[in-house]
Amino acid sequence: MNRVPRILTHPLPQALNHHLIQGDSAHYLLKVLRVKPGQPLELFDGAGQQMRATVSATDRRSLTLDCQDICQVDNRSPVHTTLCLALIKPERFEWALQKTCELGVDHIQPLICQRTDGRLMDKLDKKMARWQSILDSACEQSLRSHSPRLSAPIALEALELQGQGYVLDPEASEALQPSTQPIQLLIGPEGGWTQDEQRLIANKGYAGITLGPRILRAETAAVTALSLCQYLSGDLAG
């Protein structure tokens, strides 16, 4: 069955009206998907509203849509999850963003740690724009009704615990447990936490958890831990 293309559009156009799409979205629809007049589309605003539309006309750089009624949709996980992920190599960090977005993460908080490579903090404004674009595309692909929130990188010292906090620790003996509270998952940089950071994390109230007997890369740990959170909440169990 062919999937109806989804386009993140904020704000949504007026219902039962015409709407013009230009820019990157138009390029994707015209050049990649090669949509034609009569093609159904779905517009969503990343905040729980979506609408059906039909392509009525195209030219080289734009599409005109006939829009239908707006409806409310909410397919968020029953547990609110925040991924606090240290800055790691760009391609690995971006992979983690994409996959955790597909899994339903609610909030992503990049972290600057003592072992963070200083080069990873160059041109953060441009990186934030790229990261947001990755999340937008992942939302479109995964049928998410709500976009995750992406915060600007902060130092570990500035991180505030809200809800139940877990830090991944290969030496921990406890496993992730079900929770009805919001969950914060704290995942360190390449090279791990320093001793000072370990003390700081413990003082903030994060509980150490293990993902098993093998050491996982940061991006693998992020996807695995979030998958477990969603499974324990019933989100992945049907």
**Cβ pair 81, 228 in contact under 8 A:** no
110 and 17 in one domain?
no
Q: What is the mean pLDDT of residues 104-108?
A: 98
Distance CA 45, CA 154 (A): 27
51 and 94 in one domain?
no
176: domain range? 81-233
Residues β-bridged to residue 70? 51
**pLDDT score of 59:** 92
Domain count of the chain? Answer: 2
**pLDDT score of 236:** 85
Query: Which residues lie below 8 Å from residue 119, measured CB to CB, with a gap of 6+?
Result: none
132 and 62 in one domain?
no
101 and 155 in one domain?
yes
- Let me know how many helices (H) and strands (E) the chain has, helices first: 5, 12
Q: Let me know if residue 238 belongs to a domain.
A: no
Q: Let me know if residue 1 belongs to a domain.
A: no
111 and 33 in one domain?
no
Query: pLDDT band for position 238 (50/70/90)?
Result: low
pLDDT tens for residues 190-228? 888 999 999 999 999 999 999 999 999 999 999 999 999
Instruction: Detail the DSSP E strand segments found in 45-115.
Output: 49-58, 63-72, 81-86, 107-112
207 and 136 in one domain?
yes
| Predicted TM-score (pTM) of this structure | 0.92
CATH of the domain at 92: 3.40.1280.10
Q: Lay out the sheet containing 49-58: strands in order across.
A: 6-8, 40-44, 49-58, 63-72, 18-21
Residue 121 vs residues 13, 61, 157, 220: alpha-carbon distances, Å: 37, 35, 17, 22
117 and 226 in one domain?
yes
Query: pLDDT band for position 1 (50/70/90)?
Result: low
Q: For residues 180 and 184, which has the higher predicted lDDT (pLDDT)?
A: 184
Distance CA 4, CA 132 (A): 23
Token pair belonging to 170: 């290969």
Domain boundary among the residues 18, 43, 72 is at 72
Q: Let me know if residue 15 belongs to a domain.
A: yes
Q: Let me know if residue 34 belongs to a domain.
A: yes
pLDDT tens for residues 14-50? 888 899 999 988 999 999 999 999 999 999 999 999 9
pLDDT tens for residues 119-174? 888 888 899 999 999 999 999 999 999 999 999 999 999 999 999 999 999 889 99
16 and 88 in one domain?
no
**pLDDT score of 121:** 84
**pLDDT score of 109:** 98
Max Cα separation, the chain? 61
Domain boundary among the residues 41, 72, 103 is at 72
- ∠ CA 47-100-108, nearest 5°, is 65
**pLDDT score of 118:** 82
133 and 181 in one domain?
yes
Distance CA 51, CA 44 (A): 6
Q: What is the mean pLDDT of residues 94-113?
A: 97
Determine phi and psi for 133, rounding to 5 degrees: -65, -40
**Taking Cα atoms as reference points, which of 5, 12, 64 lies closest to residue 37?**
64
Determine phi and psi for 235, rounding to 5 degrees: -70, -30
111 and 36 in one domain?
no
pLDDT tens for residues 54-92? 999 999 999 999 999 999 999 999 999 999 999 999 999
CATH of the domain at 36: 2.40.240.20
Domain boundary among the residues 43, 72, 101 is at 72
